[in-house]
């Protein structure tokens, strides 16, 4: 257990995970829409505040899992309740806890029916998402991974748009079908490890045979690629994004998609390094295909949510590209880009939601020319759009730059092929921005359109802070992941160089 | 002979006699109360006597932890069915006291079955339970001009009698080869008869009747019609309690034989066929009970995954799984009994807007559907995971992959029930559903159990393993 730095005192991770669940339980007994809203806001804000000390207490010079907790759970199968954070999951946990209260704020007006149930779903969702990022036992991870589908399904199926039934069922079945083989792979890993274990760090660097690695890698890859989503298994995403309520879209884009890339980093690379090397070229090209496909499709959309959804496919393509070039820059860029995408795309979905609340349409054509009536709104919208296509000075520039720098150092052709994606991103974002701010001579009338109120500004402001903070001073975000990324790459290289003597965690 | 060992059975018998006397009058309310008291009393007595053990009736009847665990589950199931069945509006009014009588007798038969360790005792208890069930199915109210229960009753009886006949045939082989009806004596002699095809054929024929109870492919033909034709309360019982005894007896009988390649493959093929057949047929169903019938076939296939490992851990997982299955099924049939106004069948579309009509029932239904679909952290997932892990450990990779695929198929029909319950608006002529205190309590207990069993399986697995070690 030397890969864990056990947390002796306050069990901060358990509290973070189960506080929202307890909050959801108490929310069942509350009555009144207002009370439920305020309660959910209190619980998620409290969770965000509790999570902040994680950053300052994190020892960034160590690659070990920190704040760890370890408790026997099902001794018959050596299943444990193990939690811990390293440089990768720390940022994702913080992203989750900070975005949740903002999502509650964004749903203040938007959700008008069955408010209590909505808030319960959101709180349960927070528990499962934090559980996914903090779990260090494979069964615990899988339970959180699958359990997350229930509240997310409810969010889309109950509060979604006109095709909510189609979208929610597609989302559920797509993701579930993707991960059934994950379970078989997990059991197979357990049976092939010595000693038999479900502990994620202990499963890394075991001397699995190449064939076995290939099979395990494929099972993992299908599950995670669906979640990312990588081209060509992305088709659930636009449907789910378009129909989901604003908060659902934000959570989908900011956090759920990250679970896919998190899974690739956490499991595929260190557990099956040889298979990673085998499949690397194909995945790189798939990433490029996703970047270009997402870009071209986004260019053709009339629905703003769909446009941003397809842009997500492109952005996540950059992330998988960065991960699979397997060098330091690329991987750091990819992890930073995961956070950036969470911030930027989340904010863009919030913006679209705000227009939708006013015009009850997500069509680009009906939203043309709102700039005249909503100057504050379009300022936010413009900054987030610039960030989305990696304008220098904004957060995505740093991430994309690192990914491309890493890419050119290793695979010039592949990376060059991805470059048009960056230009496409500028094209579709500027096209949308032009329409929304100015439009043309035949704009629909927007009389009586109100600009953002204080609640909405408060919701968007934190995103703005992060856009510029990461954009201008990415140091604090990159420094926490240095040693983890170094260690991860060392694990991969060792696994490739000496398959049988792979380095232990 | 310690009379306390036999106390749950005696208590049920006493209850049955009182209900019999009451059935001479038309007092169906007190008959129900007596039946409930008998179920509850037997539950308490078997829970209290959990650690007692001993052989009775000349070695034909074995009381041990294994049988007591199953008795607790069986009597618990009976009690739950009686509580949420309420006034049993789905049953023809003039035969209600007789219905309760049959219900108690059927439970008594099952309680005796799990303790039987002699072929004759097995046969007698099995028939006591089956014949009561044959009678219960057609007792459905004919108020709505329904005749479907007659078909269900006849079908169930014909298949049941057929299965019993096959079992008797098998028993005659086993008796002929070993010269004894006692399972202990048979276990001692069988290893010398490994190369005797008649012994294997005999045992497999005995297994048939329990596969019939569990509705494993190809013994499943009765299941959808019987579920649909029976009154909601009857189906709630039929779908849950006899399955427990079925698993107990499958384990007892399978334990007699040494696993050979042929037997393992036979069970594996049945398991895979059950899963695919059940799940694929369930996709198309409109009637809730019919859908649950096919889902039962699929789940029975999963139970076999534990049994075909021929290991104590595998059997323990099967027991754990069937406990979870009992709880999940009781939960969703409870909802159906309450949604049905006067005992009519409930189509899946009839659950529309349940979230508005009764939030508690909707929650129970949603939870049990997710649990049955194997979504964590509920009982269904943990059972499925442990069964798959055990089967993979025993080297059945293909079966495990096919089983995992089935989890993905099954989600569709369970999800569509959740969708109707939570997303569709109620139909115009439906109002809120009143749920009595007893049902509320049962509902909360079941919800807690579904979560607890799923999150904390280790103590239950330990208990099942301990029971198996004592029994065999």
* The token pair that represents B272 in the structure block: 């895979």
A360: left (phi > 0), else alpha (psi -120 to 50), else beta? left
B259: left (phi > 0), else alpha (psi -120 to 50), else beta? beta
pLDDT of A503 reads: 43
pLDDT of A501 reads: 47
DSSP code string of A406-462: HHHHH-HHHHHHHHHHHHHHHHHHHHHHHHHHT--TTPPP-TT-----HHHHHHHHH
pLDDT of A502 reads: 45
CA distances from A92 to A248, A335, A480 (A): 17, 9, 12
Buried b (16+ CB within 10 A) or exposed e, B33-54: ebbbbbbbbbbbbbeebeeebe
* A169 → closest Cβ in B370, B405, B415: B415
Percent residues over pLDDT 90 in chain A = 51
Q: Indicate if the pLDDT at residue A504 is higher than 50.
A: no
Whether B42 contacts B8, CB under 8 Å: yes
- Residue B106 has φ and ψ, to the nearest 5°, of -60, -45
Whether A249 contacts A93, CB under 8 Å: no
**CB contacts, 8 Å: B381 with chain A:** 143, 146
Nearest by Cα to B186 from B59, B313, B316, B304: B59
Query: Using alpha carbons only, what angle is made at residue B28 by residues B22 and B33, rounded to the nearest 5 degrees?
Result: 85
Report how far residue A286's alpha carbon sits from residue A290's, in angstroms, rounded to the nearest whole number: 6
Sign, Cα dihedral of B315, B317, B323, B329:
negative
pLDDT of A1 reads: 66
Q: What is the DSSP pairing of strand A65-74 with strand A4-6?
A: parallel
pLDDT of B140 reads: 87
Rounded mean pLDDT, B196-211: 87
Q: Indicate if the pLDDT at residue A187 is higher than 80.
A: yes
pLDDT of B200 reads: 84
What is the Cα gyration radius of chain A? 22
Report how far residue B223's alpha carbon sits from residue B291's, in angstroms, rounded to the nearest whole number: 10
pLDDT of B199 reads: 84
Q: Distance between terminal CA atoms of chain B?
A: 22
Report how far residue A246's alpha carbon sits from residue A236's, in angstroms, rounded to the nearest whole number: 17
Q: pLDDT digit string (tens) for B236-280? A: 999 999 999 999 999 988 888 877 888 888 899 999 999 999 999
pLDDT of B1 reads: 60
Rounded mean pLDDT, A455-466: 92
Rounded mean pLDDT, B126-134: 92
pLDDT of B218 reads: 87
Q: How confident is the model at residue A387 (pLDDT cuts 50, 70, 90)?
A: very high
Q: How confident is the model at residue A104 (pLDDT cuts 50, 70, 90)?
A: very high
Burial bucket for residue B106 (CB in 10 Å: 0-12, 13-18, 19+)? buried
- Residue A496 has φ and ψ, to the nearest 5°, of -80, -40
**CB contacts, 8 Å: A150 with chain B:** 370, 375
Name the closest residue on chain B to residue A185, using Cα atoms: B401
Q: Distance between terminal CA atoms of chain A?
A: 9
Query: Using alpha carbons only, what angle is made at residue B42 by residues B39 and B43, rounded to the nearest 5 degrees?
Result: 85
Q: pLDDT averaged over chain B?
A: 89
Task: Specify which residues A363 forms β-bridges with.
Answer: A303
**Alpha carbon B52 to chain centroid, angstroms:** 25
Residue of B375, B413, B447 to mutate for A, most A C-beta atoms under 10 A: B375
Q: Indicate if the pLDDT at residue B373 is higher than 60.
A: yes
Query: Using alpha carbons only, what angle is made at residue A404 by residues A398 and A405, rounded to the nearest 5 degrees?
Result: 85
Total residues found in chain B within this entry? 472
* Other beta carbons less than 10 A from residue A49's beta carbon: 11
Helices (runs of H) and strands (runs of E) counted in chain A: 22, 3
Nearest by Cα to A397 from A344, A463, A476: A344
CA distances from B394 to A144, A216, B54, B388, B397 (A): 27, 19, 33, 10, 9
Percent residues over pLDDT 70 in chain A = 98
Report how far residue A14's alpha carbon sits from residue A18's, in angstroms, rounded to the nearest whole number: 6
Q: What is the DSSP pairing of strand B54-56 with strand B61-63?
A: antiparallel
Q: pLDDT digit string (tens) for A263-311? A: 999 999 999 998 998 899 999 999 999 999 999 999 999 889 999 999 9
Q: pLDDT digit string (tens) for B77-124? A: 999 999 988 887 888 888 888 899 999 999 999 999 999 999 999 999
Residues 6+ apart with CB under 8 A from A156: A164, A167, A168, A171, A240, A243, A244, A245, A248
Q: Is B302 on the interface with A (CB under 8 A)?
A: no
**CB contacts, 8 Å: B355 with chain A:** 114, 117
Task: Give the DSSP H/E element, type plus range, for residue A79.
Answer: strand A79-85
**CB contacts, 8 Å: A158 with chain B:** 422-423
Count A/B contacts: CB-CB distance under 8 Å: 79
Whether B96 contacts B28, CB under 8 Å: yes
**Alpha carbon B203 to chain centroid, angstroms:** 22
Q: pLDDT digit string (tens) for A163-177? A: 888 999 999 988 888
- Residue A199 has φ and ψ, to the nearest 5°, of -70, 125
pLDDT of A499 reads: 56
* The token pair that represents A136 in the structure block: 């260090």
Report how far residue A236's alpha carbon sits from residue B404's, in angstroms, rounded to the nearest whole number: 21
Total residues found in chain A within this entry? 505
Whether residues A184 and B388 touch (CB distance < 8 A) is answered with yes
* The token pair that represents B316 in the structure block: 């323990």
pLDDT of A500 reads: 52
DSSP letter at A168? Answer: H
* The token pair that represents B374 in the structure block: 């194997």
**CB contacts, 8 Å: B377 with chain A:** 143, 147
* B388 → closest Cβ in A74, A158, A187: A187
Token pair 């007789």 in the structure block, residue: B98
Task: Specify which residues B362 forms β-bridges with.
Answer: none
Q: Indicate if the pLDDT at residue A21 is higher than 80.
A: yes
Residue of B419, B424, B443, B455 to mutate for A, most A C-beta atoms under 10 A: B419
Q: How confident is the model at residue A216 (pLDDT cuts 50, 70, 90)?
A: very high
DSSP code string of A83-129: EEE-HHHHHHHHHHHHHHHHHHHHHHHH--SSHHHHHHHHHHHHHHH
**CB contacts, 8 Å: B423 with chain A:** 157-158, 164-165
Burial bucket for residue A409 (CB in 10 Å: 0-12, 13-18, 19+)? middle
**CB contacts, 8 Å: B379 with chain A:** none
Q: Is A31 helix (H, G, I), strand (E, B) or coil?
A: coil
Whether B288 contacts B417, CB under 8 Å: yes
Whether residues B375 and A188 touch (CB distance < 8 A) is answered with no
Report how far residue B103's alpha carbon sits from residue B79's, in angstroms, rounded to the nearest whole number: 11
Q: Is A6 helix (H, G, I), strand (E, B) or coil?
A: strand
Report how far residue B209's alpha carbon sits from residue B246's, in angstroms, rounded to the nearest whole number: 9
* B4 or B18, which is more confident: B18
Whether residues B401 and A73 touch (CB distance < 8 A) is answered with no
Whether the complex's predicted ipTM is more than 0.85 is answered with: yes
Whether residues B415 and A181 touch (CB distance < 8 A) is answered with no
Q: Indicate if the pLDDT at residue A505 is higher than 50.
A: no
Q: pLDDT digit string (tens) for A234-265? A: 889 989 988 899 899 999 999 999 999 999 99
Task: Specify which residues A80 forms β-bridges with.
Answer: A72
Q: Where are the domains of chain B?
A: 259-472
Rounded mean pLDDT, B163-175: 92
Task: Specify which residues B118 forms β-bridges with.
Answer: B182
Residues 6+ apart with CB under 8 A from A235: A170, A174
What is the Cα gyration radius of chain B? 21
Report how far residue B231's alpha carbon sits from residue B6's, in angstroms, rounded to the nearest whole number: 32
**Alpha carbon A312 to chain centroid, angstroms:** 10
Q: Where are the domains of chain A?
A: 4-501
Report how far residue B388's alpha carbon sits from residue A184's, in angstroms, rounded to the nearest whole number: 8
Buried b (16+ CB within 10 A) or exposed e, A141-177: bbbbbbbbbbbbbbbbbbbbeeebbebbbbbbbbbbb
Percent residues over pLDDT 70 in chain B = 99
């Amino acid at each position: 257990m030397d890969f864990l730095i056990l947390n002796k005192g306050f069990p901060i991770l358990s509290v973070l995970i189960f506080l929202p669940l307890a909050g959801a339980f108490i929310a069942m007994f509350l009555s009144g829409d207002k009370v439920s809203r305020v309660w959910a806001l209190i619980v998620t804000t409290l969770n965000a505040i509790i999570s902040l000390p994680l950053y300052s207490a994190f020892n960034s010079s160590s690659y070990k899992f920190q704040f760890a907790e370890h408790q026997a759970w099902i001794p018959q199968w050596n299943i444990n309740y193990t939690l811990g954070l390293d440089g990768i999951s720390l940022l994702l946990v913080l992203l989750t806890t900070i975005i949740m209260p903002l999502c509650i704020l964004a749903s203040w007006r938007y959700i008008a029916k069955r408010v209590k149930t909505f808030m319960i779903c959101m709180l349960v969702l927070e528990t499962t998402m934090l559980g996914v990022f903090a779990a260090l036992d494979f069964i615990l991870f899988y339970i959180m991974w699958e359990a997350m589908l229930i509240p997310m399904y409810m969010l889309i199926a109950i509060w979604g748009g006109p095709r909510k039934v189609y979208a929610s069922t597609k989302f559920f079945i797509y993701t579930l079908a993707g991960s059934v083989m994950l379970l078989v792979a997990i059991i197979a890993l357990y049976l092939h490890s010595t000693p038999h274990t479900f502990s994620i760090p202990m499963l890394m660097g075991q001397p699995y045979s190449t064939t076995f690695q290939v099979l395990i890698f494929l099972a993992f890859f299908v599950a995670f690629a669906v979640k990312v989503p990588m081209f060509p298994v992305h088709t659930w995403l636009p449907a789910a994004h378009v129909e989901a309520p604003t908060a659902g879209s934000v959570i989908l884009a900011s956090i759920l998609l990250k679970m896919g890339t998190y899974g690739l980093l956490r499991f595929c690379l260190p557990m099956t390094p040889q298979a990673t090397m085998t499949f690397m070229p194909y995945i790189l090209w798939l990433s490029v295909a996703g970047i270009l496909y997402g870009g071209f499709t986004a260019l053709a959309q009339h629905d703003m949510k769909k446009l941003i959804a397809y842009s997500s496919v492109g952005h996540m393509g950059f992330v998988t590209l960065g991960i699979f070039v397997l060098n330091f820059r690329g991987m750091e860029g990819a992890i930073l880009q995961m956070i950036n995408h969470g911030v930027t795309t989340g904010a863009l979905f919030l913006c679209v939601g705000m227009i939708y609340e006013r015009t009850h349409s997500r069509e680009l054509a009906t939203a043309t020319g709102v700039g005249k009536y909503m100057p504050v709104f379009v300022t936010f919208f413009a900054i987030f759009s610039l960030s989305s296509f990696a304008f220098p000075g904004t957060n995505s520039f740093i991430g994309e730059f690192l990914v491309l720098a890493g890419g050119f150092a290793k695979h010039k052709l592949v990376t060059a092929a991805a470059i048009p994606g960056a230009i496409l991103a500028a094209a579709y974002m500027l096209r949308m921005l032009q329409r929304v701010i100015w439009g043309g001579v035949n704009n629909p009338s927007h009389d009586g359109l109100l600009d953002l109120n204080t609640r909405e500004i408060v919701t968007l402001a934190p995103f703005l802070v992060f856009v510029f903070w990461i954009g201008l001073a990415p140091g604090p975000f990159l420094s926490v992941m240095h040693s983890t990324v170094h260690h991860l790459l060392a694990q991969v290289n060792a696994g490739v160089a000496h398959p049988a003597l792979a380095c232990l965690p | 002979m310690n009379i306390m060992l036999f106390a749950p059975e005696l208590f049920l018998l006493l209850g049955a006699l009182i209900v019999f006397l009451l059935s001479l009058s038309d007092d169906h309310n007190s008959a129900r109360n007596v039946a409930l008291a008998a179920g509850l009393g037997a539950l308490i007595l078997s829970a209290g006597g959990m650690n007692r053990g001993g052989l009775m009736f000349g070695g034909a009847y074995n009381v041990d932890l294994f049988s007591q665990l199953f008795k607790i589950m069986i009597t618990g199931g009976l009690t739950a069915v009686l509580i949420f069945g309420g006034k049993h509006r789905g049953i023809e009014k003039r035969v209600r006291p007789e219905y309760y009588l049959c219900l108690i007798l059927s439970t008594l038969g099952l309680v005796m079955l799990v303790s039987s360790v002699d072929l004759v005792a097995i046969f007698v208890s099995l028939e006591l339970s089956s014949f009561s069930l044959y009678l219960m199915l057609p007792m459905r109210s004919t108020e709505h001009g329904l005749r479907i229960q007659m078909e269900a009753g006849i079908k169930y009886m014909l298949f049941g009698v057929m299965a019993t006949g096959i079992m008797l045939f098998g028993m005659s082989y086993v008796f002929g080869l070993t010269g004894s009806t006692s399972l202990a004596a048979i276990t001692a002699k069988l290893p010398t008869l490994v190369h005797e095809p008649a012994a294997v054929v005999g045992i497999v024929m005995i297994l048939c009747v329990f596969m019939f109870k569990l509705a494993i492919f190809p013994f499943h033909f009765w299941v959808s019609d019987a579920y649909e034709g029976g009154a909601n309360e009857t189906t709630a019982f039929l779908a849950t309690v006899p399955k427990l005894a079925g698993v107990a007896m499958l384990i007892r009988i399978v334990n007699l034989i040494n696993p050979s390649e042929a037997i393992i493959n036979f069970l594996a093929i049945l398991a895979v066929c059950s899963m695919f057949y059940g799940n694929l047929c369930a996709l198309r169903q409109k009637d809730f009970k019919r859908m649950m019938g096919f889902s039962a076939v699929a789940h029975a296939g999963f139970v076999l995954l534990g049994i075909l490992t021929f290991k104590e851990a595998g059997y323990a997982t099967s027991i754990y799984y069937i406990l979870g299955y009992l709880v999940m099924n009781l939960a969703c049939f409870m909802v159906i009994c309450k949604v049905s106004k006067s005992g009519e069948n409930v189509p899946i579309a009839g659950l529309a807007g349940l979230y508005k009509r009764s939030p508690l029932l909707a929650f129970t239904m949603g939870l049990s559907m997710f649990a049955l679909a194997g979504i964590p952290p509920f009982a269904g997932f943990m059972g499925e995971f442990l069964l798959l892990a055990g089967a993979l450990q025993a080297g059945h990779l293909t079966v495990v992959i096919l089983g995992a695929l089935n989890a993905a198929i099954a989600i569709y029909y369970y999800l569509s029930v959740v969708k109707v319950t939570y997303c569709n608006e109620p139909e115009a002529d439906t109002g809120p559903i009143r749920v009595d205190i007893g049902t509320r309590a049962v509902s909360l207990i079941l919800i807690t159990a579904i979560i607890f069993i799923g999150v904390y399986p280790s103590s239950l697995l330990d208990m099942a393993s301990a029971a198996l070690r004592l029994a065999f």
